[in-house]
Amino acid sequence: GWSVCLGFWVPTGLLAGLGDTETQQTTLHPLVGRVFVHTLDHETFLHLPEHVAVPPTVPVTYHAHLQGHPDLPRWLRYTQRSPHHPGFLYGTPTPEDRGQQVIEVIAYNRDSFDTTRQKLLLLIEDPEGPPLPYQAEFLVRSHDVEEVLPSSPASRFLTASAGLWEPGELQLLNITSALDRGGRVPLPIEGRKEGVYIKVGSASPFSSCLKMVASPDSHARCAQGQPPLLSCYDTLAPHFRVDWCNVSLVDKSVPEPADQVPTPGDGILEHDPSCSPTKATARDFLTDALVTLLVPLLVALLLTLLLAYVMCCRREGRLKRDLATSDIQMVHHCTIRGNTEELRQMAASREVPRPLSTLPMFNVRTGERLPPQVDSAQVPLILDQH
């Protein structure tokens, strides 16, 4: 028969109350290459009597970090939908994370402003059993990451995905939010979800159905906007809406060839006669320097002499200009100039009295003007005011 295994799920341990009570420590055992999920429940952190139920309206938020560091380890993530929902610590440890890690969790009661501290001792170990070389990753569009982290939805997904696989043991390897893989935040419309990537592994080979979904023909149909080829019944529907165009299969049963490790040497190249440097012939740079300096100087000197000849030696003079001008034009010019001089002399020696309207003290109504002994021509138009 088919057997389904859900990795390793650990319930939350009990905590002490607030105040001076010593912080208790919970020991957990994550497995390398298997998904690890730890639920942060309000009931665990709120300091209430045993017979009193936790009010559903109490908002509690959490802050988790690696002891001695401000953030979580690179393999561990934290998520919480709202202060009224539980928080989750989830992730998949790698072989480099093997060992012991201490996670400190602080809970904040947003109503009473009380805080509770808890320490999680993570003992990361290697999993038991055979390796899981056949791995498939599905993009579930109908769920958020918080909806598949609890054990019940994860077990349901493994049970449903077993119908798409060859008979064998399935285990949950990783759960990742689509937002962490470059997805967009959906619009606040009912039914829209962020999406979640779920990776499942098995020791049994892939079925022909999964191979057909990941075939190049299916990818070509997806590129044209058509559904991929699916030769079997979709056992994940209707609980999980899987995007079959985003199914990826990884086969680790065939080991990859190991890269050749270069052997370190002493850093000194061996002598090779064929690669010896050639001797450079002696070269005289005096000719190049003279050409570089003298040619621009000669060009500048020639331009200077040409400009001096044009400005100093090519002046025509007045005599040549007058000879080149016609007699009629010269007479016309001389007549205009003589008449202009004559008009200037007449204007300077005129003794005609100035019009009354130009006198400085002329009154239009009375006709009063300055006394005769005053030379009105010498009086300015605007007298100084005293």
Give per-residue pLDDT as tens, 112-142. Answer: 888 889 999 999 999 988 888 889 999 998 8
| Mean per-residue pLDDT, 168-174 | 86
Average pLDDT, the chain: 80
pLDDT at site 6 = 39
pLDDT at site 2 = 36
Give the predicted TM-score (pTM) of the model.
Answer: 0.59
- The backbone torsions φ and ψ at residue 167, rounded to the nearest 5 degrees and listed phi first, read -55, 130
283 contact partners, CB below 8 Å, separation of at least 6? none
Q: Which residue has the tokens 């939010």?
A: 177
Give the pair of three-digit tokens for residue 107.
């809970």
126 contact partners, CB below 8 Å, separation of at least 6? 31, 32, 98
